[in-house]
Structure 1
Amino acid sequence: MIAEEWSVWSTTARVVVTDAKRMPAARALVEMMLGEIDQAASRFRPDSELMAAGRSSGPVQVSPLLATLVEVALRAAQESDGAVDPTVGGALCTLGYDRDISIVDVDGLEIALAVKEAPGWRSVKLTGTTLTIPDGVVLDLGATAKAFAADCSARLVADALDTGVLVSLGGDIATAGPAPAQGWQVLVQDKEDDPSCVVRMPAGKAIATSSTRSRQWLRGGLMLHHILDPRTSLPAPRTWRSATVVADHCTDANTLTTAALVLGGDALDMLREHDVPARLVAADGTVRTLGGWP
């Protein structure tokens, strides 16, 4: 095997292939996929297709790629009963996360935190490639788009280059093609001071980790993070430091981990209902595992 990694989207992209000679082409394919998704759906680029659609009044025709990314986000909202909601984008901007996290003012001016329910994913209409975003609503596709990018990139490389591949985008990891003889070995750890473990995944599986400790910034002495509760438009309580789920697709795993952080104490019941291998790290560092987590 051979691996390469580089910085993208304020995180680290890592590609591992089982056939070393395929690496240059594999990296080129992943970089191409990430560039197309960034141009379509970035909340931090005024020239992205998503931001242009948000500035339009009424229905607008969008590319098949953006339509798919919105569809994935709306499906995540529906499957999570609204816990994962793309209409929190405006609230993230209000809280100070209005640009790439690498250039967010980490200790900004004090702001008044007000409880306000997000506009709601049902207010966004998508019919084929016709998208309608209500006036004043800012969509944030970040979480689901990153997981989708991992899924699509892994599948693209495996199909085009006939190799086993693992694509990691921060906490979102997807695999495709044949796995190494001992399976894919994945270190599960959010921060260096968090408890860690290594899991072995068979070919085609995905794993996602969401965190209340990553992508955080200060406002008026308060430490905020990017996982918002749509019911309040405020950062979810830090019941859990992180949540990790293994699933067939990274988009599904990411939906469940994000929902778990939003739901707090109710996350255990939700994850049991979905019967997936899951690992939760509580605020005090205690680890809870469910669903046959190894």
Structure 2
Amino acid sequence: MSAPSGGTGSAWEFDAIGTAWRIETARPLDADARSTVARIIDDFDREWSRFRSDSVVTGLAAASGVVPAPPDAADMLDAFVELDRATRGAVNPLVGDALSARGYDAAYAFVDHGVRPAPRMWREMLTWSDGRLALTQPALIDVGALGKGRLVDRVVETLESIDPDLVVDASGDLSVRGASQRIGLEHPYDRRRVIGVIEVTDAALCASATNRRAWGDGLHHVLDARTGEPVRTIAATWAVAPTAMRADAIATALFFDGGPQLAFEWDVEWVRMTTDGRVEWSPGSTAELFS
């Protein structure tokens, strides 16, 4: 996804959770606001990052058991239930071990150790209720299907009371408040090109593509949890929703057959490109697509 056209005034750029962030506001954010944003991101990372040895999910992966549920657990894992249903098990929050086995591990080794499907009965293994997050046996939670979107929402919720005109861009997960932004849909096979543009107003646009975080012989970060194999038919997806978490979730679901139906149920606008170059879009899509 290419950067939004224009800007809202002041831009703050930094790296966090392994990706580049850009926050545009009408006025520069003061030190307190920046410190608050940094704390929100670090707290989320310490709770949900499978790449940190001190995170909540890493601790559960090592020993299972019960821990206090992080604040975002219910909203995110409830959404995973719907993703699992819509994609018939292709999207699953216990896909972390499958990703690590294929090489996308905490050391970023990118060495393929073979197929390891995620547990299909994950809802019997993983529970979240009464303020507790529990695993009945060791397994690695990965919230990558929607987690970055959720974090963008948290940052937006903090900053929009300070400045109602802002853009929060976390490298593919972007939320706009106030002035509209025209966003380019980056071609997955040529970053110098876009396949179209879409105007975003008081909403989030999230994108996912198999050319990002790709390694080895056709391996990338979008796995079918049922098989442990990377998706082969869809190259890139884009989704527009009121929240970045929902847009991020649909951008993931669109790699699978049930994605368009879930997007319809959630009233999410979308575009996707297949690996053979075809472009598909939701009914009533406002995207301006180029031939």
Verify same fold: TM over 0.5: yes
Q: Which amino acid aligns with 2:243?
A: H
Structure 1, gaps ≥5 residues long = none
Shift of the 149–20 alpha-carbon distance from structure 1 to 2, 3 Å rule, reads: same
3-state SS of paired residue (2:276): coil
Distance in 1 of aligned mates of 2:75 and 2:193 = 31
* Counterpart position of 1:285: 277
- Greater displacement, 31-40 / 282-291: 282-291
**Cα drift, residue 211 of structure 1:** 1.5
SS, match of residue 28 in structure 1: helix
Report how far residue 268 of structure 1 moved.
Answer: 4.3
Q: For the residues of structure 1 that align with 2:62 and 2:156, how far apart are their CA atoms? A: 33
Give the share of equivalent positions with the same residue, in percent: 26
Which of 106, 109, 119 matches 1:105?
A: 109
Secondary structure of 2:155 counterpart: helix
| 2:52 partner SS | coil
Q: Which residue of 1 aligns with 2:3?
A: none
Partners of 1:121 and 1:257 lie apart in 2 by 22
CA contact (8 A) 2:97 2:118 kept: no
Consecutive unaligned residues of structure 2, counting only runs of 5 or more, are: 1-8, 287-291
Q: Which amino acid aligns with 2:24?
A: V
Deviation at 1:194, TM superposition (A): 5.4
Q: Which residue of 2 is the match for residue 76 of structure 1?
A: 79
> Which residue identity lines up with residue 146 of structure 2 in the other structure?
T
Number of the residue aligned with 2:220 = 225
- 1:113-139 deviation line (CA, Å, top 9, x unaligned): 36x353443120111221211323111
1:144-293 correspondence to structure 2 within 5 Å: 144-159=146-161, 161-176=162-177, 179-180=178-179, 183-189=180-186, 191=188, 192=191, 195-203=194-202, 205-218=203-216, 222-236=217-231, 238-263=232-257, 267-293=259-285
Query: For 1:259-280, what per-residue CA distance to the aligned partner results, in whole angstroms no more than 9, with x for missing partners?
Result: 11133xx544554454432111
Change in 2 beyond 3 A, CA 1:156/1:291: farther
Q: CA RMSD in A?
A: 2.3
Query: Using the alignment, how far apart are the partners of 1:97 and 1:129 within structure 2?
Result: 30
Q: Which residue of 2 aligns with 1:42?
A: 49
Q: Structure 1 residue 248: deviation in Å? A: 0.8
CA distance in 2, matches of 1:145, 1:16: 21
Tell me, yes or no, if the aligned pair for 1:125 and 1:133 is still in contact at 8 Å: yes
* TM norm structure 1: 0.83
In structure 1, C-alpha distance between the alignment counterparts of 2:95 and 2:64, rounded to whole Å? 19
Q: Does the Cα contact within 8 Å between 1:72 and 1:144 map onto a contact in 2?
A: no
